[in-house]
Structure 1
Amino acid sequence: MSLNVFAETVDVTASTTNVPTIYGQAAITVDVATGEIIYAKDVYKQMYPASTTKLITALLLAQNRVKTDKIKYTQSAKVQPADSLNVNFHPIGLNENMSSADVMDGLLLFSANDAAYMIADNIAGNSTNFMKMMNDKASKLKMTKTHFVTPNGLHDPEHYTTTYDMSILARVAFLNPWVKESMNKKQNTISTSKGTTFKIENSNKLLGVNGCIGGKTGYTSKAGRCLVAFYERNGREIMGVVMGSVMDANDTYVFNDMEKIINYSYDLQRTVLHANNSVVKTETLKYKPLKFFGPEKTVSVPLVVKEDVSYYKNDANQKDLKENINLSNITVSSLKGNESIGSLGLTQKGEIKTYKLYSAAPSGSLIKNSMPIYLMSAAIVIIFLVVITLIIRTKNLNKRKRRRRRY
């Protein structure tokens, strides 16, 4: 038995007065383990991702090469523009090569624009083919409001995403051991096949501060300052995405934005929809008092949970919040609350958490409801036993009569 129940708007005591004010036009935080959205600001707004795009380029590199593979320096890599935040490996000669491990570090730490095209050309043959790989991957990840054009995130009006979609990509990239390892490096020295070396440092100023264990920066004049960051505190991992923040002279705004929403997310308490031992819904259910045979009875059953049903209150979750009740195993024993009779699924933006449901029907009402059937069944059994007894006695009597006749 399945019942679909859409959650109603509820008044809760959880405070929303401490929601941080940030400069970023759109932002999101997500629990890495569960995928739950904790903080949300315009998470479906179309934004330009700038160099946070390099997370999908890094993921495709990790999925198509190993660290020791050689990556050639190509013509399309050489012509990539650079600025103060998105640099290049120059000077490197055409067809010089680097290890995949060094190219990955150059991509994520150094944010090298040419490194992205090295990856695109070596994996897909050219950037056009690589663009198809990027969008195919985005489609598989259900990034429904995303379209990629360039592997390095330099501006193109058709190259866009949302902070929600980017959180999907970033979470998957972070769960890849190679990508995660590279994002976590503060600095490294990399080299080419001709012995040219580069000392590179991570552009993520938060790395190693207050639990930050990785991330990716981004900036173009059209995109504004962008940042993806991952944190671990007391064994719990939370990731954040900020897009469209301000690029100031000291480059502090986007990092301050991130710290605000991450601190808020670690402090935020879940909003309780249904408290432990509370009635979720009352249903009219049918059951067979005699289990395998006999007539069905109808009873009104309050359904209760034995733990808090909760979620993070934000605009994204409240928009998509839905409860789905599935009931099964309806027996007298289960209706007495001795075992689960179904589940409550709480859906938040595609993430489903399941809670067991139990019956809270009063045992007295069940006995009263089933008593006529029990009495009728007992009467039938008694009559059956009396009839059998009479039949047996009659047979025995007839046997005795036949014996007497013989003698």
Structure 2
Amino acid sequence: MKNFKKSLWIFLILFIVSFNLVWAEDLSNISGTQAIVYDYETGEIIYTKDIDSKSYPASITKLMTALLLAENFNKDEMLTYTQSAADQPAYSYGKNVEQVLVGDKMSAEDAMYALLLYSGNDIAYMIADNVSGDSAKFVNAMNLKAKELGMTSTNFVTPNGIDDNTEVHLTTPYDIAIMTKAAFENDWIEKTMKTERVVVSTENSREREIENRNKNLGLNGCIGGKTGYTEKAGRCLTSIYKNNDRTLIGVVMNSEYIYGVDTAVFEDMNTIMEYSFNREKDTLKKSGDIIKSVTASYKVIPFIGPNRTIDIPLFINEDIKYYKTEIEPKIDVKVNTFNLWKIDPSTPLGTITITLKDYSETYTLYSDISSSKLLKDNIFIYVGLGIGVLILIILIVIIFKKIFGRKKRRYRY
């Protein structure tokens, strides 16, 4: 009976472990068609799902609008509510929260809250008009900022992400991760994204409390983010999570949206984040692996010759680890110029650089070749040369003896 119970416990433990391992590797259950997890500090990409295909970002667009607001206004400066803001559809502050008249004033701080927490479509246009004069000029500024950040696959058409009348308001999960990092690096935006609820108002309207639409905020390490939805885009979400002093950015695009439920994209985010925080790196190259062999020539006798060639294996003395995803690592090997007679196993002879998107890491290459090995490889030449030199010395001595012997005899005579 005891053996049976022991076997049962072992079976259960193995089952749980194997289930967790399978679950950790299998993320096919997320409903989002695109996703990425990006290390905020290092730029390493931990998880990918079709990260370079262009799609609609919906209201995640407003992160770029927030960046331009933060760069052009102080919190206490006032913005004027414009006609183009009033013309925006539902999910606008002036239509769904509190009536706002054209010409009314709102502080930049409250505008930032209404933009990122409530995701007011009208607030985005109010910001655009106040920053650039009109939305067309503002969109141009948005695209210039995107290029500055390295968002090479992004094209903005509207300040709020509404895509009803366009097919080219597009970006990628990777570009959104870059934008999210840039936004979160701004102290004003970071504070706003971390806020769960706040009271805002315009000069001529009542105060209203608005709540952050990011349902994950404050749970499982989520410290910020931005939601989005249009019929074209599906449910979208970008988030920042912090766990044990490690910060990750996650993006899920085109997730499922069920009216009245709306949990899929938030569950997707928690799934990819839990996976990424627990994931271990894969080994690309092991310590001692030969990365490249080069042929070098050297003089058997320094500065004199003759010339010989030798194959030099270049290896690393540490493991190269990375997160294996759909991104193929680019490998660049560079070999230094060196003098074979002056190297030893501690001499750096080159580098190998591993690049994945904007992240790269460089490792040093070494070899086991040394001057003592060169001497050993050419020992017969040196022995022969030594014998030759010895014979030459003996011949010189004999010749000198003969010469001096004749001179001595002549002297006697």
TM range (shorter): 0.7 to 0.9
The one-letter code of the counterpart of 1:136 is L
Residue aligned with 1:367, SS: helix
Residue 197 of structure 1: which of 193, 197, 207 is its match? 207
Cα 1:364–1:339, aligned 2, differ >3 Å: closer, same or farther?
closer
The unaligned stretches of length 5 or more in structure 2 are: 1-20, 391-413
Give, in whole Å, the separation in 2 of the partners of 1:185 and 1:80.
25
- The runs of 4+ residues in structure 1 deviating greater than 4 Å are 14-17, 84-89, 286-297, 369-379
User: Is 1:18 aligned with 2:35?
Assistant: no
User: Is 1:314 aligned with 2:322?
Assistant: no
1:64 matched residue in structure 2: 72
1:34-113 alignment to 2 at 5 Å?
A: 34-83=42-91, 90-113=98-121
Cα 1:177–1:307, aligned 2, differ >3 Å: closer, same or farther?
farther
Pairwise CA distance, 1:323? 0.8
1:351 matched residue in structure 2: 359
Quick check: which one's helix share is greater?
2
Alignment deviations for residues 172-214 of structure 1 (CA, whole Å, 9 cap, x no partner): 2222222222111111112322363121111101111111111
The one-letter code of the counterpart of 1:351 is Y
Give, in whole Å, the separation in 1 of the partners of 2:190 and 2:98.
26
CA contact (8 A) 1:229 1:241 kept: yes
The one-letter code of the counterpart of 1:55 is L
The unaligned stretches of length 5 or more in structure 1 are: 1-13, 383-407
Aligned length: 366
Bigger mean CA deviation after superposition, 273-282 or 50-59:
273-282
1:7 matched residue in structure 2: none
Alignment deviations for residues 351-385 of structure 1 (CA, whole Å, 9 cap, x no partner): 21111111133665333357699899999x99xxx
Alignment deviations for residues 330-368 of structure 1 (CA, whole Å, 9 cap, x no partner): 234763112322211001123211111111336653333
CA contact (8 A) 1:287 1:330 kept: no
The one-letter code of the counterpart of 2:319 is D
Pairwise CA distance, 1:219? 0.7
Work out which of the two has the higher radius of gyration on C-alpha atoms and give 1 or 2.
2
1:146-185 alignment to 2 at 5 Å?
A: 146-155=154-163, 156-185=166-195
TM (norm. structure 1) is 0.81
Cα 1:364–1:357, aligned 2, differ >3 Å: closer, same or farther?
same
The one-letter code of the counterpart of 1:168 is I
Cα 1:23–1:291, aligned 2, differ >3 Å: closer, same or farther?
farther
CA contact (8 A) 1:299 1:366 kept: no
User: Is 1:138 aligned with 2:138?
Assistant: no
Alignment deviations for residues 42-96 of structure 1 (CA, whole Å, 9 cap, x no partner): 1122211110011111111122222222211111111111149997554122222
1:302-381 alignment to 2 at 5 Å?
A: 302-315=313-326, 317-318=327-328, 321-332=329-340, 335-361=343-369, 364-369=372-377
User: Is 1:221 aligned with 2:227?
Assistant: no
1:246 matched residue in structure 2: 256
Give, in whole Å, the separation in 2 of the partners of 1:86 and 1:353.
50
1:389-404 alignment to 2 at 5 Å?
A: none
Pairwise CA distance, 1:283? 2.0
Higher relative contact order (CA 8 A, sep 6+): 1
